[in-house]
Chain A
Amino acid sequence: AQSVTQLGSHVSVSEGALVLLRCNYSSSVPPYLFWYVQYPNQGLQLLLKYTSAATLVKGINDFEAEFKKSETSFHLTKPSAHMSDAAEYFCAVSVKTSYDKVIFGPGTSLSVIP
């Protein structure tokens, strides 16, 4: 069965430091992978997605993620954290079913310390 795990339910970084949020997936077929961000009291917004083209995917606000098939990982990074990056981040994997099911990870809450 497909699943998504996110290491660390809460991550704190200093402003200007590297952001690294981890995501590992399991899938019996080549997946589509997503990172979504949720700001307080808002819905989820797409940050970036992997759809079997380039393995290094660039998204909005200088976020990027690298698909590593051998490690079944899709970690999210940003070179320099801003205060505005404080949010909940969700990794998700798509599954080709009759309704194209998307499985979400439990989320990682990112805090940015001034």
Chain B
Amino acid sequence: NAGVTQTPKFRILKIGQSMTLQCTQDMNHNYMYWYRQDPGMGLKLIYYSVGAGITDKGEVPNGYNVSRSTTEDFPLRLELAAPSQTSVYFCASRSSNRHYEQYFGPGTRLTVT
């Protein structure tokens, strides 16, 4: 049982480049989330999904896109990278029960220069 996995661990992008951050969970969780973590700012929700085929925006969605074609996978797409997107990105998942506990991946550290 691997839990939540994320790839890559690190990435450096040039301004204007695109990339996809991968997230996979093997716990059959319906709910999945993408957060970004900036120093001293806690976690900000980018996008979330409540099941395959259903996604919606969180607090800071600008510059990002997501898809959810399967229960397991929830990739995050950056289309035109900007320096403001330099951050650590975490994917999380949880089951549908009301206890709200989320399981987090190890994160992707992205630098845009």
Contacts and interface: CB of A to CB of B under 8 A. Distances in A.
Interface string B100-111: 111111110000
A28 interface: no
Interface of A: 9, 32, 34, 36, 41-46, 49, 51, 90, 94, 96, 98-102, 104-107
Contacts of B31: 99-100
Interface string B53-77: 0001000000000000000000000
Q: Is the interface of A mostly helix, strand, loop or mixed?
A: loop
A43 B99 contact: no
Interface of B: 4, 31, 40-43, 45, 48, 50, 56, 90, 92, 94, 98-107
A106 B40 contact: yes
B101 A34 contact: yes
B99 A32 contact: yes
A34 B103 CA distance: 12
Contacts of A101: 45
Given A99-B31, A106-B40, A107-B40, A32 B107 contact: no
